[in-house]
Every structure is written in structure tokens, then in C-alpha cells.
A and B are shown apart, each in its own frame.
Chain A
Amino acid sequence: MSAMSWVVWRQYRAQAAIAGALLAAFAVLMLVTGVQVASQWHAALIACSANHTCGNLADSLFLGSHAIGFLVIMTLGVPAVLGMLLGAPLLAYEFESGTSQYAWTQSVTRRRWLVAKSGWLLLAAAAVGGVVSGLVTWWSGPDNALQGDAFKPGRFDIMGIVPVGYAVFAVALGITAGALLRRTLPAIGITLAGFIVVRMVIYGWLRAHFAAPVTTYFSLAQGFTAAGSSWQLAAGYAGANGQPISLPQSVNGPVIGGSAAVPGLPVSSLPAQCQAAAGNGPLTPATYHAVLSCAQAHGIRGYLTYQPASRYWAFQGIETGIFVLLAAALLAVTFTVISRRDG
């Protein structure tokens, strides 16, 4: 194995140097700004606890700069870039330039050759994904504490261990595209498109169902906020029979309840008796209380459907596992194709 490893190193050492330099620059940027963000956060905490305004800190404090924040979001693209520039050309470039005829008539079998090349490249992709994710996760510590949105799509995808899974999958997808299409540019296009589609399908539909979401009912008077960084999927109101009250597409007129997480319940959706209690015009504290009591008497409660914060790492693990399994399946296809097809 070490002999082929040297060959792989020789082939990729220039690219490794460039990637290393970029990674180092990114790390420096993250470390320097991350320290600034952390101290900004600590100062804000001290200030707000002095005058007890910590409750609405999330709305008023913006940590870091827009530029760096944007760069952090852009790390969503790192796996795709790895797949396009590392994975897609691996086989496609050798086919296009004919060097596969040279490589495959040395004394190394095609499988062994591919194991060495793809193995090291996948390892490198995982390492890059891991380093970037590690930096971003550390950098986002204060922001996660402030906003509590680590579990939300968009944030979930750039922190923790899932970026490693994405990177490995993207490179495997690129390698397979190159094996099947045998041309670099189409392989790059397919890798990008395929990666986006698979990611959208999983974060848009599948992820919410990794485990059955929790639904909590709460009284209108108290409201409810899921603890920690949970992932809110749906919120609304339910009647005494447990059926959700359908809210109109557009709301005009007074509402009761309502918070950052849950929209307000329009008085117009309440039973007639409670609407009568509201009278005409905007609600006064007295009529508000009357409407509220009436609604509660009718058994109307609010509900929140969410994935609790305690499941964050389980979900990270499940999603990473899915992408790693997909990568393995793709690689199995590649190895079969490589052995059967003409060189």
C-alpha cells in the first residue's frame, strides 16, 4: 500500500500544498475573528446582566461582521468544491488523457490502484471537511448560545460532524461520475447537480423524520419555548378535541397569545362566544383577559412540534451515517465499473 501511496502523493502534492495554504488562511481568519466574537459576546453578557436586558439580547446583538458571517455560510459549498475538483477528475482525467492505459499496465491491479487513490482522496476530503467544520463550530459558539439555532437547517449543515459526511459523499459522487462519464467537465457538472439535489432532499424532507417529532401542548396563558437549541417544525393551536385550528392565510384584527416561536391566535378563529367577549375594536387588557379565559375554557391550547435539543447529536450522527452509506454505495458501483469496463 505504501508504494501506491507515494504515487498518489506525487500526483497530488501540488494540490495538497494549495489546499493546505487555503485551509491555513481560513484557519487564521477564523481564529482571529473568533476570538473577537467571543470577547464581544462576553462583554455583551456582562453589560446585559448588569441592567437585566439579557432577554432581548438575541434581537439586538449581532456578533462578528457581515463579511465573515457570509464566509461561514459559504462553507456550505466546501464539500461540493471538493467533489468537483478532487473527485470528478480522479478517474475522468485519466481516461480523457489516456494515462489510464499507462497506469493500468504497471504491475498494480486496477482495484489496488483505485483503492490507493480514492482512499487517500476520501481521507483528505474528510480531513478538510472536519477542519473547516471544527473551526466554524468553534467560531459559532457564541452565536449558537445567543440565537439557539444550531439545530436549524443552514446552521446544522455547517457544524458538527455532518460536513465530514458531505465531503466524503461529494468526492465519492465525483469519482463515480468520472468512472461512468469518463469526461471531466460533464463529471464536474453532474457532481455539482447531484450533490445539491441529494442535500436538498435530505435536509428538506428526510431530516425532520429521523425520529418522530415531539409535540407539546401548552396553555394559552403561559406560552411555551422548547429548551435549548431545538428545531421547531410546526406550531399552532388545537381545540378540545385535539384537532389543530386552521389559521387563515392572512390575519387581520386582534390576536391573543403569540411569541417568537408561535404566531398569535386570531380572535376571528375562536368560537363565537369568545369573539363576543372581545367586543369591537382593539383588545383592552380587560377584554384580552376575558377572551383568553373563554378560549381556555373551551379547551383551546397551543402546540409546538419540534425536535428537542437533546437529539442534536443523534441527528448529526444519523445524517452523517446516511451520507457515508451513500458514499460507500457509490464507491461499490465505481469499483464494479472499473473492473468490468475497458481501460
Chain B
Amino acid sequence: MTWLVWRQYRGQAAIASVLLAAAAAVILADGFQIASRWHSILVACAGNTACLQQQAPLVNGVVSDLPYISLLVPAVVGMLWGAPLVAHELEARTSDFAWSQSITRMRWLTVKVGWLLLAAAACGGAIAALTTWWSGPINAMSASAFAPGQFDTQGIVPIGYAVFAMALGITAGTVARRTLPAIAVVLGGFIGLRLVISDFLRQHYMAAVTTYYSVGGSFTAPGQSWVLAQGAVGPAGVVVATGWGDLYPALPASCQTLLPTAGTGKSGSLSAVFSCMRAHGWRGFATYQPSSRYWPFQGIETGIYVLLAAALIGVTFVIVRGRDA
């Protein structure tokens, strides 16, 4: 049975390997270039953070968009391999052939699904490894590994996404019994779920930490942390995000008049404003997920996607067992 799976997919495996190798080559070449530039920056700046902030961005140009295109890889995998797994056999009626051989449907499905999920995980893992390595200097320079966008392309979550997308494709194909609608479902469902989880759920995996600091001072969450909100909070606990546009109306009048106004010749100093704010009980705050939680979050999110994948595969097995061919 394993031999049959290999025979069926060897052409596609070859093509996928070639594409993966090509992508790896491009990412490696670009990554080496970025790494060497980062190395020279480190040497020149010798730990001076002000110097670090002065540097031009590490990434520019089209080639550097490639690792972000890797966000698509799970969806492609689910669409082109997951969706047709059962659907194509049903459409072409080869299921009549496959499911009347001397192995049970369940065994057939287990072997095929097992290998495809493994392939998805391997694919996701390869892309994740490449992108994580490529992002090393970027993470170091802008401390952004935990931020949405960066978080999704590094670590182990891409493996979870790939496995989930494959499972979604397989289930959609089994339910819809036709490949094209299954492909559409994978596209929409995968993107929708990723958006919902990364934008709404992820920040709540653990209760965020809120730190208060003196207004006018600065606070940088240490390491690769994920800042969810930062700004000033008034004495009544009224939270205001950054931006003078939002802050100005909330300030007491005595502090408002102290703001320098450009173009009118009226001078002032921000430090005077800050002292006034402090006097009125204003504090700065930052709500964030500390960097120590990076790997737990990676684990939680991967776990969520793997559990969803398992549930979907369970549904698939139930349907294939019960349904007419």
C-alpha cells in the first residue's frame, strides 16, 4: 500500500522537491548576504543601541519578499494535494477500484492520509527552518520575532499550519466529493482561520503583562517581546494609546497649554508637558507578552492547529467508512 502511494505521488514529489530546493537556494543566498551585513553592523556598532537604530533596514528588494510568500505554502499544499486525495478518486471513480481491493477502506485511507500529513509536516518544517534561519539578523536587529507576521513564518507553527491545511483539504474533498469546490474551501477556510487565530486569539493564550513607567521616560520590553499596546494612562485609569492626536483631548487643560505648537512661534518643551502629566497622576504603560513566552506560544498555536487537523481527519474517516463510494 505504501508502494502504491509512492507510485501515485512520485512525480509530484519530484516536482515539489525541485521547487523546494529552488526556494531554499534563493533563501540561502539572500540569507547569507543579510547575515554578513548584520555581522558588519554588529562589529561597527559594538553594542551601541543608538547606533543600531540608525542603520538602514536589512531587507529590501523583491527577493526578500520570498520568505513571506512562504505563508502561502500550507494553503498550496492543502489545495493541490489534500483536496484531491479523496475527491479525485471519487470523481474519477477509481475509488471503485481502490476500495474493492483486498485492503479495507480504512487501511487505504490511513496509509494515504498518514503519508500526506507527514509530507505536509516535512514541507512546513523545511520552510520554517529556512525562514527562521533567514530571519535571524532581522530578529536581532528589530526584536520582532514575536510580532504577527514574523511569528507566523518562524519556529514550529508553519508545521502546524501545513498539517492543518492538508487535513482541511482532505476533509473538504471528502465532504464535497469534488476537487474544485474543495480547493475553494481550503483557500477560504485556511485564510479565514489563520486571520481569526492570529489577530484575535493569539494574544489571549496567556494573560498579558502590563508594566507602568514614568511618563516621558521610555520603556522597551526586553528581548523579543510582543507589544500589544503602549501609551499613557490617566489617574482615573483611562487608557489612551500613543499619538498626540488621541492624547491631547484627554489631558487636563493646564497640561494642554504647555504643548509646543508649531507654526505659531509658541515654544514649549515636551518635558514640561510630561512633568505636568506626572503631577496629575498620569503614567506610561505597556501591555505585552514577554519574550520568555515565545516558545510556549509557538507550542500552543501549533497544538491548536494540530488538534484541529486531527478533528478534521476524524471526520474524514467517519465519512469514508459510512458513505457509499
Contacts and interface: CB of A to CB of B under 8 A. Distances in A.
A–B interface present (Cβ within 8 A): yes
Interface of A: 44, 47-48, 50-53, 55-57, 60-62, 66-67, 70-71, 74, 81, 84-85, 89, 93, 184-185, 188-189, 192-193, 196, 200, 203-205, 248-253, 255, 263-264
Nearest to B44: A250
Given A52-B261, A205-B62, A251 B183 contact: no
B263 interface: yes
A243 to B, nearest CB: 20
Interface in B38-54: 40-46, 48, 51, 54
A17 to B, nearest CB: 13
B147 to A, nearest CB: 11
Contact of B183 (A60, A188, A200): A188
A51 B248 contact: yes
B179 A185 contact: yes
State the main secondary structure of chain B at its contact with A.
helix
B244 interface: yes
B84 A185 contact: yes
A48 B248 CA distance: 9
Given A85-B184, A250-B55, A251-B54, A203 B62 contact: yes
A61 B200 contact: no
12 contacts: A47-B245, A53-B248, A56-B244, A57-B243, A70-B199, A184-B179, A185-B84, A196-B69, A249-B44, A250-B44, A252-B48, A263-B54
A47 B249 CA distance: 8
Interface in B62-95: 62-63, 65, 69, 76, 79-80, 84, 88
B79 A188 contact: yes
A255 to B, nearest CB: 7
B221 interface: no
Contacts of A71: 195
Contacts of B54: 251, 255, 263-264
Contact of B44 (A53, A61, A204, A251): A251
Q: How large is the interface on B (under 10, 10 to 19, 20 to 34, 35 or more residues)?
A: 35 or more
Best-surrounded residue of A84, A203, A263, A264 (most CB of chain B within 10 A): A84
B148 A44 contact: no
A205 B62 CA distance: 8
Contacts of B56: 263
Contacts of B246: 44, 47
B80 A66 contact: no
B267 interface: no
B199 A67 contact: yes
A48 to B, nearest CB: 5
Contacts of B19: 193
B27 to A, nearest CB: 14
Nearest to B260: A52
B180 A67 contact: no
A274 to B, nearest CB: 19
A53 B264 contact: no
Contacts of A193: 19
Contacts of B291: none
Best-surrounded residue of A51, A248, A264 (most CB of chain B within 10 A): A51
Interface string B100-132: 000000000000000000000000000000000
B45 A250 contact: yes
Given A47-B248, A52-B264, A251 B55 contact: yes
Given A51-B256, A67-B195, A196-B69, A250 B183 contact: no
B210 interface: no
Given A50-B248, A52-B263, A204 B40 contact: no
